[in-house]
Amino acid sequence: MPVYSRRRWETPDGDFIDVDRVSGPADAPLVVLFHGLEGNSGSHYVRTLAADVAQAGWRLAVPHFRGCSGEPNRLARAYHSGDSAEIAWMLGQFAAEAQSAALVAIGVSLGGNALLKYLGEAGQDARAVLRCAVAVSAPVDLAAAGNALASGFNRLYARVFLATLKRKGAGKAARFPGLIDAAKVRAASTLREFDDAVTAPLHGFRDTDDYWRRASSKPWLAYVRVPTLLLNARNDPFLPQQALPGADEVARCVELEFSDQGGHVGFTSGFFPGSFDWFGERIMSFIRKHLAQGALPHSHDMKPG
- The one catalytic residue in 69, 109, 137, 216 is 109
pLDDT of residue 303: 36
User: What average pLDDT does range 282-303 have in this prediction?
Assistant: 74
CB 102 within 8 Å of CB 131: yes
Q: Which of 242, 260, 261 is nearest to 148 (CA)?
A: 242
Query: Which pLDDT tens digit goes with each residue over 239-267?
Result: 989 999 999 999 999 999 998 877 777 76
Q: Does residue 109 have an active-site annotation?
A: yes
pLDDT of residue 259: 87
Q: Three-state DSSP class for 110? A: helix
Position 236 confidence tier, pLDDT thresholds 50, 70, 90: confident
Beta strands at 16-22 and 59-63: parallel, antiparallel or unpaired = antiparallel
Q: Which of 88, 83, 94, 39 is nearest to 217 (CA)?
A: 83
CB 12 within 8 Å of CB 89: yes
Task: List the 59-63 sheet strands across, edge first.
Answer: 5-10, 16-22, 59-63, 30-34, 103-108, 132-136, 228-233, 254-259
Q: Does residue 64 have an active-site annotation?
A: no
Q: Which of 43, 67, 68, 50 is nearest to 5 (CA)?
A: 50
Query: Which pLDDT tens digit goes with each residue over 13-53?
Result: 999 999 999 999 999 999 999 999 999 999 999 999 999 99
pLDDT of residue 276: 59
* % of the chain beyond a pLDDT of 70: 92
Position 298 confidence tier, pLDDT thresholds 50, 70, 90: very low
Greater pLDDT, 215 or 155: 215
CB 104 within 8 Å of CB 132: yes
Position 109 confidence tier, pLDDT thresholds 50, 70, 90: very high
- The one catalytic residue in 35, 64, 80, 264 is 264
What does the alpha-carbon distance between residue 34 and residue 138 come to, in Å, rounded to a whole number?
11
Residue 168: alpha-carbon gap to chain centroid: 19
pTM for this structure? 0.92
**Segments making up each domain of the chain, as ranges:** 5-140+217-293, 142-215
Q: Which of 201, 222, 240 is nearest to 305 (CA)?
A: 222
Per-residue pLDDT for 301 more than 70? no
Overall fold of domain 5-140+217-293: Rossmann fold (3.40.50)
- The one catalytic residue in 52, 195, 196, 236 is 236
